[in-house]
Amino acid sequence: MIRFDQVQDALLGEFGPQHWWPADDVFEIIVGALLVQRTAWRNVEAAIAHLKTAGLLDPDVLRRTGVEAIEQCIKSTGFFRTKAGRLKNLAACIVKHGGTESLASLSTPEMRSLLLQVDGVGPETADAILLYAFNRPVVVIDEYLRRLARRLTPDRATIPDNRIRAWVAGTIDDVVGLNELHALVIAHGKKSCGRVPDCPQCAIRSMCGTGRTALEA
Ligand code: SF4
């Protein structure tokens, strides 16, 4: 089976370090992880800049702010009305549990379970928060990684998330490596391995079942 550390090395050679997650503090990462759902990062950056200017990038301030004021700040993101309410819920959850520093004392399964109880926080968002905000060694599984994992295999069959997680963690299990991998897989998905793969231009085509087949055709 192809090793994900080798995939990562090849992608690192192509794209270089990605320096994720760009943010000033833990709460900003958490907010960004929720806002980036179905939204391009540049639009998240605009929303975060507005939240910052309005003084709302604080969990206690955000939970007490009216939803309309939050909506105004995050209009650049998709589903901003839904996300405004979800940001308030997430902020309220953080405050209820003593703030981000107190949350950091929870075990990874405890924190994941708590995050998943917040409306709008699914497994991908929870795992991104765990990895980038709290430096926990978790594999963030998104559509880019699912698609890549499927295409890397000879039969291109769908692979359950728990098997992808085990596959990645077999060779990358540290925070720094998992941080870089998630960012690199997204860069790779956007450049080469989108819905229609551009295999001739791909840095990992020699490792990839789909890429080899395309080049042999
Ligand atoms: S060779 Fe093609 S299918 Fe395989 S990872 Fe690269 S772009 Fe994706």
Q: What is the pLDDT of residues 167-200, one digit of tens each?
A: 999 999 999 999 999 999 999 999 999 999 999 9
Contact 70, 62 (CB under 8 A): yes
Nearest protein Cα to ligand 1, atom 8: 193
Ligand 1 centroid, distance to 155 Cα (angstroms): 14
Measured by CA distance, the residue closest to atom 2 of ligand 1 is: 199
Question: Ligand 1 pocket: which of 8, 11, 202, 212 to mutate (most atoms <8 Å of CB)?
Answer: 202
Angle separating helix axes 175-191 and 4-15, nearest 10 degrees: 60
Q: What is the pLDDT of residue 154?
A: 84
Q: Is the CB of 204 under 6 A from ligand 1?
A: yes
Whether the per-residue pLDDT at 215 is higher than 90: the answer is no
Q: Which of 205, 206, 215 to mutate to test the pocket of ligand 1 (most atoms within 8 A of CB)?
A: 205
- Rounded to an integer, what distance in angstroms lies between the CA atom of residue 17 and that of residue 15? 7
Q: What does pTM read for this prediction?
A: 0.95
- Residue in 148, 153, 184 to alter for ligand 1 test, most ligand atoms within 8 A of Cβ: 148
214 vs 151: which has the higher pLDDT: 151
The mean pLDDT of 106-114, rounded to a whole number, is 98
The tally of CA atoms less than 13 A away on the side-chain side of residue 140 is: 28
Is ligand 1 within 6 A of the CB of residue 193? Answer: yes
pLDDT per residue over 39-72, tens digit each?
999 999 999 999 999 999 999 999 999 999 999 9
CA 186 to mean position of chain CA atoms: 9
* Cα separation values, 122 from 68, 201, 204, Å: 24, 33, 30
C-alpha 162 to ligand 1 mean position (Å)? 22
CA of 7 to the centre of ligand 1 (A): 11
- Checking if the pLDDT of 216 tops 80, the result is no
Which residue type occupies 47? A
Report the share of the chain in percent with pLDDT over 70.
100
Q: Is 199 in the pocket of ligand 1 (CB under 6 A)?
A: yes
Model pLDDT for residues 131-158, shown as the tens digit of each residue = 999 999 999 999 999 999 999 998 888 9
Q: Give the model's pLDDT for residue 112.
A: 98
Ligand 1 centroid distance, CA of 197 (Å): 6
Going from the Cα of 203 to the center of ligand 1, the distance in angstroms, rounded, reads 8
Q: Is the CB of 192 under 6 A from ligand 1?
A: yes
